[in-house]
Structure 1
Amino acid sequence: MVKINCDGARFIKENRAGIGVVIRDSEGMVLGSLSKQIPQAYNPLEIEAMAVTIAIQFASELGFQHAILGADLFVLVKALVDDTQLLFVVGLVLDEIRYKANFFNELHYSHVKREGNNVTHKLARQAICVLDFTVWMEDVPPLLSYVVLVDIAGST
């Protein structure tokens, strides 16, 4: 079972958003990570929902079938766990998430507090520096290696 974490960030001045995703094994070692820039500064709920969609797609493309997905926006995680709808555009994104979840044999959702999502938060903030998206396999950007090590040390 892998742990997928995702987060979103808004860059109001640039009218852009960023998404960060990290996939880890049971020991906390990074299996893959990505930063993706979104060409519009959507509202926070929409960005977080897009982050979940991209995270599920990324994990599926890497061939993972059993996962726990953690996000820090409680209302979104609750809607996924309870299988309820949210309004307008986010409702459509939730439908897409539920569709993509079918590609997994087992997929659970969990709420992760902001402090437990540092790596993905920094990956989302880094998205302003990428043209579309950047993927790191079994790694994160060099400037985030320390954050991963601190995170692993804190969870032991």
Structure 2
Amino acid sequence: MEDFASAASREQISIPSVEKVVQQWRKPSQGRGKLNSDAAVKENRCGVGIIIRDGVGDVLLAAGVRMMDVSSPEEAEARAILFGLQTAFDAGLRNLEVESDCLNVIKLLNGHKARTLTQVVVNDTLALSNLFSFCSFSFANRSCNKVAHSVAQLSLSYDEMRVWLEDHPLTCFPLSWRTRF
């Protein structure tokens, strides 16, 4: 039994500490907005949602739309990022740190290549990102992306795109977050 306990404790030490780090939303660098995006897929429908906040945590923009004929959850996540950049560009935002909880799409956006329909969406996203003064793509733990996910879930029921400027759907921010930011 002691050998098992000893081996188990060694294994715990050798496991990367990524899971042990508490993940929470972090503010963007000075002068930039943080765009969080997510997708919710249900049957043949897909809802995508985004939220853009400033360095204080104030909402600059939130938006959601329902999409049809999405081939995979990965493609849906890529479309959410593209939708976020398009919406931000239309609103005049040009300095963004983009976060998604889909690691595979973030890898594609940061240079990995794949022969999938998702790559086509990624290529469009990269072309659009070149029009920004600053645009970076990074992975965010799901716990950092809860608000964008809530907007995406709401978007499943939308008939048209919805955009909130300096506002958001009230149900997307838990009560505890409303007082924190």
| Aligned-residue CA RMSD (Å) | 1.7
Question: Does 2:128 correspond to 1:137?
Answer: no
Q: Partner residue of 1:24?
A: 53
Matched position secondary structure for 1:122: helix
Give the 5 Å matches for 1:111-126: 111-126=139-154
Question: Does 2:39 correspond to 1:11?
Answer: no
Judged with a 3 Å threshold, the aligned counterparts in structure 2 of structure 1 residues 110 and 152 are, in CA distance, closer, same or farther, namely farther
2:161 aligned partner, one-letter code: F
Whether the 8 Å contact between 1:38 and 1:132 is mirrored in structure 2 is: no
Normalising by structure 1, report the TM-score: 0.89
Question: How far 1:26 sits from its partner (Å)?
Answer: 0.6
Give the 5 Å matches for 1:94-109: 94-109=122-137
d(CA) in 2 for partners of 1:133, 1:26: 26
Question: How far 1:76 sits from its partner (Å)?
Answer: 1.0
Question: How far 1:118 sits from its partner (Å)?
Answer: 0.4
Whether the 8 Å contact between 1:17 and 1:42 is mirrored in structure 2 is: no
Q: Which has the higher helix share?
A: 1
Q: Deviations over 1:12-43 (max 9, x none)?
A: 1xx21000000110111100101110023531
Matched position secondary structure for 1:42: coil
Whether the 8 Å contact between 2:40 and 2:156 is mirrored in structure 1 is: no
Matched position secondary structure for 2:145: helix
Question: How far 1:113 sits from its partner (Å)?
Answer: 0.7
Q: Which runs of 4+ in 1 moved over 6 A?
A: none
Gaps in structure 1 of 5+ consecutive residues = none
Whether the 8 Å contact between 2:48 and 2:67 is mirrored in structure 1 is: yes
1:34 aligned partner, one-letter code: A
Task: Mark the structure with the bigger radius of gyration.
Answer: 2
Question: What's the % identity of the aligned pairs?
Answer: 26
Aligned residues: 150
